[in-house]
Structure 1
């Protein structure tokens, strides 16, 4: 199963979320969109999930901590204990043997990131 992980700022627009997701490979074949729990109820995220026809998987911040990611943001590492919310959320939601098939990409306005993982969903 393919899961898109998204990280985003509070002021993100639907257009920026779309742009990041498209840059990471687009919505085709996705089983879900994942993000950190405290952002999972964001209206723009709900709109994107609805457009893509997939559910949102909320990943607790504690589950992101310690997830090894190929890209690193010092700000994200200090706050969440992982290098990328998008990559860590995608990996966590896709299952224990998940692997990234698209590393973190960033929207042009730098308010959204996306990554895609594939796994067994267990």
Structure 2
């Protein structure tokens, strides 16, 4: 079983297709050779968890096969988490460069050696962002080739 942590950032006007757009891009970025079943944790800011956009995310996510754990995080929990992506606006507002990446890293911290596997992806309508953390897949051994 592979454990993956999806950090979701979104605006108030995010729609199910906003989340689908991010998901499609992110899944294409994950290693295509991975056929192991996944256990997902979706993380979002607690301040956004009662919004219509959060309900749209939950409704959209109900169509994904398998069980999804939900984690809400305080803004203070993601403050000062270093992220590869950087937005000056988000840095000023949340004290981190990417809400999605910080949420994924924070949720993934429960798993030792977890790291970002998919950097921030932005939906086509620019209303949602998604980043994914977890453990990288082990590199298959190829005789005669050094890792």
TM bucket (normalised to shorter chain) is 0.7 to 0.9
Count of aligned pairs between the two proteins: 119
Q: Residue in 1 aligned with 2:70? A: 56
Q: Residue in 2 aligned with 1:18? A: 20
| TM-score (ref. length: structure 2) | 0.74
In the alignment, structure 1 segments of 5+ residues that lack a partner are none
Larger radius of gyration: 2
Distance 2:5 2:83 in 1: 15
* Contact persistence 2:15–2:57 (CA under 8 A): no
Q: Residue in 2 aligned with 1:114? A: 130
After TM superposition, where is structure 1 displaced by more than 6 Å over at least 4 residues in a row? Answer: none
Instruction: State the Cα distance separating 1:30 from its structure 2 match.
Output: 4.2
In the alignment, structure 2 segments of 5+ residues that lack a partner are 29-36, 136-147
| TM-score (ref. length: structure 1) | 0.88
